[in-house]
A and B are shown apart, each in its own frame.
Chain A
């Protein structure tokens, strides 16, 4: 669908009666503020699933119904329903987690989550493999350590991101605090969550339950993140609403505001495309929450509610024009944004390894391959981090690249933590090629219902083969970003990697080249729907060429454009050309 709406065209937004909008809008509106029949569905012992409508509502509760896709066909023949199970995504602003919280995650994962945890690309934990009858216990367990899963999914403000290593400076601490406030501010107020999962009584009230969201919430997910230059670890340009911290010697001055990032797309549907956010101005720290409110309100009121594939903020902006949107935001704010300030990003990766902060405490960032925490052969990640959490007196940080920072380690504890890492086989985690350290894969099979190809289970072995090429071309220690997604939704943010892969079918991927090393540029499709051999051949050629002819400090993503392998992508709409 290629269309540009005039700014006065309200035919597809909230102003329309429900019958004129997409079915999900009616579902939300008639859900009794997200209660639906979830509570009854949990009691149905004949199925491990909930009703199709409730699966949609449960996303707002941070819970996704899935099934073990490896078993789907087999179970059908066995006259068993699919192996239904649930994924629960914790709301963890900025990825900060206390040792006590870690221990609870660990305990719950062992009890109900098949002894594994998943660190996500948006800095939080996911439990997979939860059975319906264990959901309440899991959510209540989280509650014990003041965590929940509210709006970790759904048409609402998702988990708010914040650059890691806040304790390297007071600046980070300040920005993290704001990200938490933004999270608390933007989160739905629904009582359904408390009633269903904690068993609280329904209290009658004449006040509307959701002063901001109303009964139809957002048209689609809405993502907020805070980046602290020079690190763009959160990929601020992929956020619907991004804040780029601007500071000088005197401290935090405010933020550049970036709007309209989003990566999801659909193959063979040129009207869908990834888009990087535009920086539209600068605001003071005190105005951050007001900006959240105004930007979200514009998207709430003007976002497309007829067609979900066109409902993200990025399309609202492109349909109505950036200037119009900016003006509407300013109108709601009641003031104009200042001109954007200068800033510099150097990479979107993590600073792997030990760092010492200005408070004298130590921070260890460990590479966790694809964010998977489990007791792997020779690498007892579950056991190791549990033991560390038991003695650690700082915090844990989940990074936007699915890695883990053990933060604020005191001098006394450092040797003990090193010993525990050694004991559980975790010393070698960071001893990887620079490519692998800058790699990410989304979850995909067997849990993700949208996956078309393997991702998390496949990337490690593909990397091993690419590493042979790197070795041949002496590029083993060259940081190159590579990201794989099992479908075009792009959960590992593959379209802003120097090498991107998105799944098309089992064993088949699109290969993208030319993303910006610090997240500033989308890549472009180089090969479509190809298998491993074609991918390796293409990489062999381009990497070999890069090794021979790259300029001083020239990233691989820049080189493939200069060398003419792909044409630079300048805007989202240009991605499919």
Chain B
């Protein structure tokens, strides 16, 4: 970006300084993004100026002068936790409102052969694992990235990538699609936008941008744009609680499940959903909006010499800094955005160096090993004002927890199984925001802000279908819900649970419950692996995948009989290790080659018989 020397018209000095600081910290890609962002804001702002009832809006249907576009628009999304789906829906509704001929598909259900017939394609996809697409979109990615993918010379496309900048492969799945569509000859309508976890505004801007370019009438007339987030439906009296409008659930139980002497702390939390109207199915997750630890807030304020009463803008509203740090902003885990921000403000060589593209690895490891507080302490900035500091922070995000109960057994309740994240960094004990909140700031009868996060990709099959549940640590949570549900329904299908943790004596989560389920023959089988117990067979550490292999014959027989397979828990190690073990089992027992075994598992996945909920 070229250096702008003069203050832009209409900006005051502070704003001008902030803009300059920001500009200095941006790399070229970010600059592009920021320009798009402002464009979108501008567009949305102008749209907002229009009268509520939209007299100026020329409805495409009612106004015969408007010739509907002959091109069709397809909105395709790949999602795990529903963010992409929600944005796709918004986009679709707005497109419809503009009179566009639009259809929306989940990549999971999209007919790949249709692709070559598409005209305008808008893709929204999130990233998981090591730059992977959401699990349900894996098939689509394989198709489009494989050699069977058609050439797409007539296609116009745009990609919105969802991700989390604290991950190494940021928005990688979106990037892959963007790259690939171009390779296949398609024309990019608009540059890809990568969205961090606070995607609301950039996504809204992008949607506006896309619609503008698709619907030429709107640019001419400045037609209304409906808000990205529709207001709660007017028909219902009780408010519908969701991510944006979470319910204050009362804590009715909060105990430590791990026994004395355990190397970890895992809690069982029960929440009352009474009068919320919230319901869920086994497999769903609960979103929880935490607050930051007062001690972390103190530390930040002290390091910056700021007072909690200083006002900052949160969602456009002036908010006391103390409150903003407590309830609205992420103040612990370091993000690339903050690093860049602080490098710009502090001008510290060490930080500036990290922002350069050729120091990516160093930068990643720095981010992993430092919190925001470490950065502001080690690279102090004199007399920083609250607003400037806050610009570098991203909004506090809700955390998801698999629901560990079934409404059939505990009506109006949601139970969670939460591992308290605690670790030492630079000689200081650090604690996860949400899990720490639950461990230290969630007394009985207190309240937590929650919503239900649907998880349609993790569902029980019909009652008579056998299930194999594989989980480690808190990955056991949804299986407690599954078994409660099956017990309540009197399901006839067999069930087999594999569970792994560190130590038998202290970490066998819900041990007595599993024991009685086994005794009552509701749970058919259970195998456990405790990695830190002495291996009495003399080998190395034992994990669930080892138990799977020990049971290889029975396991394969279950699969052949139509069992559904579930994997829940750690995404980095458990899921891939279990997958490898399963592939080996299928190969061995089914007498298949490696490729055929992999096919077998993929078929299971496609048939939704192999579902994962990993994090």
Contacts A46-B514, A131-B505 given; indicate if A83 touches B533 (C-beta within 8 A).
no
> Measured between C-beta atoms, what is the minimum distance from A52 to chain B in Å?
13
A81 touches B527 (CB 8 A): no
The CA of A158 and the CA of B510, in the complex, are separated in Å by 40
Shortest CB-to-CB span from B528 to chain A, Å, is 5
Does B511 make an interface contact (CB < 8 A)? Answer: yes
A445 to chain B, nearest CB (A): 16
Q: Which residues of B contact A46 (CB under 8 A)?
A: 511, 514-515, 518, 526, 528
B355 proximity list for chain A (CB < 8 A)? none
- A79 B536 Cβ-Cβ under 8 A: no
B259 within 8 A of A: yes
Interface flag for B558 (CB, 8 Å): no
A24 to B556, CA, bound (A): 43
Complex contact B255–A77 (CB within 8 A): yes
CB distance from B549 to the nearest CB of A (A): 15
A283 to chain B, nearest CB (A): 48
| Docked pose: A83 CA to B259 CA in angstroms | 9
A76–B511 Cα gap in the complex (Å)? 10
Q: A46-B518, A48-B505 are in contact. Are A78 and B259 (CB under 8 A)?
A: yes
B504 at the interface (CB under 8 A from A): yes
A137 at the interface (CB under 8 A from B): yes
Identify which of residues 503-534 in chain B touch chain A, using a CB-to-CB cut-off of 8 Å.
Answer: 504-506, 508-515, 518, 526-528, 533-534
Minimum CB–CB distance from B482 to chain A (whole Å) comes to: 17
The CA of A71 and the CA of B260, in the complex, are separated in Å by 8
Give the contacting residue for B258; candidates A47, A78, A81; CB below 8 A: A78
Which chain B residues lie closer than 8 Å to A355 at the CB level?
Answer: none
Shortest beta-carbon distance from B340 to chain A in Å: 45
What is the interface size of chain B, counting residues whose CB is below 8 A from a CB of the partner?
A: 25
Residues of B within 8 A of A133 (CB): 504, 533-534, 536
Q: How far is the CA of A45 from the CA of B498 in the complex (A)?
A: 12
Whether the pair B527, A80 counts as a contact (CB closer than 8 A) is no
A4 to chain B, nearest CB (A): 46
Contact, CB under 8 Å: B268 / A137: no
A499 to B515, CA, bound (A): 47
A478 at the interface (CB under 8 A from B): no
Knowing A79-B513, A137-B536, say if A48 contacts B259 (CB, 8 Å).
Answer: no
CA distance A79 to B526 in the complex (A): 17
Task: State whether the Cβ of B22 lies closer than 8 Å to any Cβ in chain A.
Answer: no
Given contacts A48-B504, A137-B536, contact A75 B526 (CB under 8 A): no
Query: B256 and A78: CB pair below 8 A?
Result: yes
Assess A47 versus B515: contact at CB under 8 Å? Given A79-B257, A80-B257.
Answer: yes
In the bound complex, residues from chain A placing their C-beta under 8 Å from that of B513 are 79
Contact B504 A74 (CB under 8 A): no
- In the assembled complex, A134 has its CB within 8 A of some CB on chain B: yes
Q: Does A424 contact B (CB under 8 A)?
A: no
CB distance from A401 to the nearest CB of B (A): 33
Does A136 touch B at the CB level, under 8 Å? Answer: yes
What 0/1 readout, one digit per residue, does chain B (251-278) give for beta carbons within 8 Å of chain A?
0000111111000000010000000000
Across the interface, do B257 and A78 meet the contact criterion of CB distance under 8 Å? Answer: yes
* Closest partner residue, chain B, to A68 (CB atom): B260
- By beta carbon, the residue of chain A nearest B526 is A46
Residue contact A71 to B533, C-beta cutoff 8 Å: no
A83 touches which of B505, B510, B512, B536 (Cβ 8 Å): B505
Q: B505 to A79, Cβ gap below 8 A?
A: no
CA distance A113 to B477 in the complex (A): 33
**Taking the nearest CB of chain B, how far is it from the CB of A479, in angstroms?**
41
Which residue of chain B has the shortest Cβ distance to A132 in the bound complex? B504
Q: Which of A45, A48, A77 has the most CB of B within 10 A?
A: A45
Once A45-B527, A46-B526, A137-B536 are accepted as A-B contacts, the answer to whether A75 and B259 lie under 8 Å apart by CB is yes
Interface string of A314-325 (1 = CB under 8 A from B): 000000000000
Closest CB-CB distance, A20 to chain B, in whole Å? 32
Binary CB contact string for chain B from 532 to 545 against chain A (1 if under 8 A, 0 otherwise): 01101000000000
**Which chain B residues numbered 122 to 156 have a C-beta less than 8 Å away from chain A?**
none
Closest residue of B by beta carbon distance from A111: B534
Give the docked Cα–Cα distance between A152 and B512 (Å): 32
In angstroms, Cα B24 to Cα A134, docked, is 63
B window 310-333: CB within 8 A of A: none
Interface string of A109-135 (1 = CB under 8 A from B): 000000000000000000000010110
B511/A79 in contact, CB under 8 A: yes
Residues of B within 8 A of A71 (CB): 259-260
A81 vs chain B, min Cβ distance (A): 5
- Given A46-B514, A46-B526, A47-B515, the answer on whether A80 and B536 have CB atoms closer than 8 Å is no
Docked complex: A34-79 residues within 8 A CB-CB of B? 45-48, 71, 74-79
Contact for B512 among A45, A79, A137, CB less than 8 A: A79
Residue in B closest to A71 when the chains form the complex, CB atoms: B260
Q: Within 8 Å CB of A77, what residues of B?
A: 255
**Chain A residues with CB under 8 A of B257:** 78-80
In the bound assembly, the distance between CA atoms of A74 and B260 in angstroms comes to 9
Q: What residue in chain A is nearest B259 (Cβ atoms)?
A: A80
| B518 contact set on A, CB distance < 8 A | 46
Q: A569 CB to closest chain B CB, in angstroms? A: 44
Chain A residue numbers with a CB within 8 Å of B515 are 46-47, 81
Say yes or no: A78-B505 contact (C-beta < 8 A), given A45-B527, A46-B528, A136-B536.
no
- Alpha-carbon separation in the docked complex, A71 to B505 (Å): 12
Contact residues in A for B526 (Cβ distance below 8 Å):
46
Report the minimal beta-carbon distance from B91 to chain A, rounded to whole angstroms: 45
The residue in chain A whose Cβ has the minimal distance to the Cβ of B268 is: A79
Which residues of chain B have C-beta atoms less than 8 A from A76's C-beta?
Answer: 512
CA–CA, A76 to B509, complex, Å?
12
In the complex, which residue of chain B has the Cβ closest to the Cβ of A131? Answer: B505
Other-chain residue from B510, B527, B528, B534 in contact with A79 (beta carbon distance below 8 A): B510
Q: Is the CB of B511 within 8 A of A80?
A: yes
Chain A residues lying within 8 Å of B533, measured Cβ to Cβ, are 133
CB distance from A45 to the nearest CB of B (A): 5
List of A residues within 8 angstroms of B505 by Cβ: 48, 83, 131
Q: Cβ of A75: which chain B residues have Cβ within 8 Å of it?
A: 259
CB of B255 within 8 A of CB of A80, answer no
Q: How far, in angstroms, from A45 to B534 measured CA to CA in the complex?
A: 13
With a 10 A CB-CB cut-off, give which of A76, A78, A79, A133 has the most chain B CB atoms: A78
List 10 A-B residue pairs with CB atoms under 8 Å apart, sorted by A's residue number: A45-B504, A46-B511, A78-B255, A79-B512, A79-B513, A80-B259, A81-B512, A83-B505, A133-B534, A137-B536
Nearest 6 pairs between A and B by C-beta?
Answer: A133-B536, A80-B511, A79-B510, A45-B528, A79-B512, A80-B259
5 new A-B contacts at CB < 8 Å, known A77-B255, A81-B512, A131-B505: A46-B511, A74-B259, A79-B512, A81-B508, A133-B534
Could you list which residues of chain A lie within 8 angstroms of chain B, going by C-beta atoms?
Answer: 45-48, 71, 74-81, 83, 131, 133-134, 136-137
